[in-house]
Structure 1
């Protein structure tokens, strides 16, 4: 069974497809080696295939969501945005507790940059999570438009870049591939 002596901060960003997929790939590998992986998914309310995968890999890989299913952020009413903000804060507080109590070997904050870009959490709050990371825990952040200050605090930053995408040909999101 693997154990981390030193954990790092990883960021998966960019406009290309694959940020969450990369994080889940790492989670599957780590869970297979006996590590405990928590993934907190933000801004994702609909059913996705990774929820089923996590059930198969449980208890080593667990996914947590705090939001009720909603539409895209830009389509929400002000009341729905306020409700979403409360749910995001609940997820944030859970992340703080996980870090404080060192409840897992790897903590993935999926789409945390989307939360930041939609002003549901501040850059300062996300940096606070990075600073609270235990020495022997890996922290993975995903999402587009990562601020320079967060990039500077990360140990690894991978940018997913669109070179060609079938969405441009009108292909919709496909179950098992995009969600």
Structure 2
């Protein structure tokens, strides 16, 4: 356990935000830290979650969403999505308040905030109440200036070139 934990953000339009967070989870668990990995906005099975489930000290919490892009959802599906997100954030608050881990990874929280699904001021208030030693990792596109201000480390993944633009779909073992 670290004496001082920080808030890190991995954002941007480039590939690798979740992958970076998974790497941090593996590194922390390998050093005997307790890691909680909370994931929003993703409901499909991924290789990284399969392996994380087998690492001692890592707990995974997923708040599944409909299996389509948010812009394709019906109003009813959006309401379900928002309920799942709110439930997930209650879980995040409980994990922080209970001081239940050394590292808390909140995958896709930045995207949830940028789409207006949670009140950013309330989220920032919860983040700032974290225990001194807890490291918090946030991922997702479009981090706001306010969220960046709260963070201690911000890395922006920038897409320079991606084969997706040539019609290559997400590949098992590489993108999921």
Q: TM-score by structure 1 length?
A: 0.94
Counterpart in 2 of 1:133? Answer: 130
- Offset from partner CA, 1:131-172 (integer Å, 9 cap, x none): 121100001111111111111111000000111111122211
1:84 match: 81
* Aligned-residue offset at 1:111: 0.4
- Change in 2 beyond 3 A, CA 1:166/1:68: closer
Of stretches 120-129 and 143-152 in structure 1, the one that deviates more from structure 2 is 120-129
In the TM superposition, residue 66 of structure 1 has moved relative to its aligned partner by 2.0
Q: Distance in 2 between matches of 1:119 and 1:151?
A: 16
User: Hey, what's the Cα distance between the residues in 1 that align with 2:129 and 2:42?
Assistant: 25
Question: Superposition RMSD on alpha carbons, in Å?
Answer: 1.1
Find the aligned partners of 1:48 and 1:73 in 2 and give their Cα distance: 19
Tell me the alpha carbon deviations over residues 109-143 of structure 1, each in whole angstroms, 9 at most, x when there is no partner. 10011111222102112202211211000011111
Q: Any stretches of 5+ residues in structure 1 without a counterpart? A: none
- Tell me whether 167-176 or 152-161 shows the greater mean CA deviation: 167-176
Match of residue 150 from structure 2: 153
Report the more deviating stretch, 165-174 or 35-44.
Answer: 165-174
Corresponding residue pairs, total: 176
Q: Secondary structure at the match of 1:57?
A: coil
Q: Return the offset for 1:177.
A: 1.0
Aligned with 2:90: secondary structure? helix
CA drift at 1:68: 4.4
> Contact between 2:111 and 2:143, CA under 8 Å: does it hold in 1?
no
Say yes or no: does 1:7 pair with 2:5: yes
Q: Aligned residue for 1:169?
A: 166
Equivalence for 2:20: 22
Q: Secondary structure at the match of 1:79?
A: helix
Structure 2, unpaired ranges of 5+: none
Conservation of the 8 A alpha-carbon contact between 2:11 and 2:157: yes
Structure 1 residue matching 2:154: 3-state secondary structure: strand
The secondary structure found in structure 2 opposite 1:133 is: coil
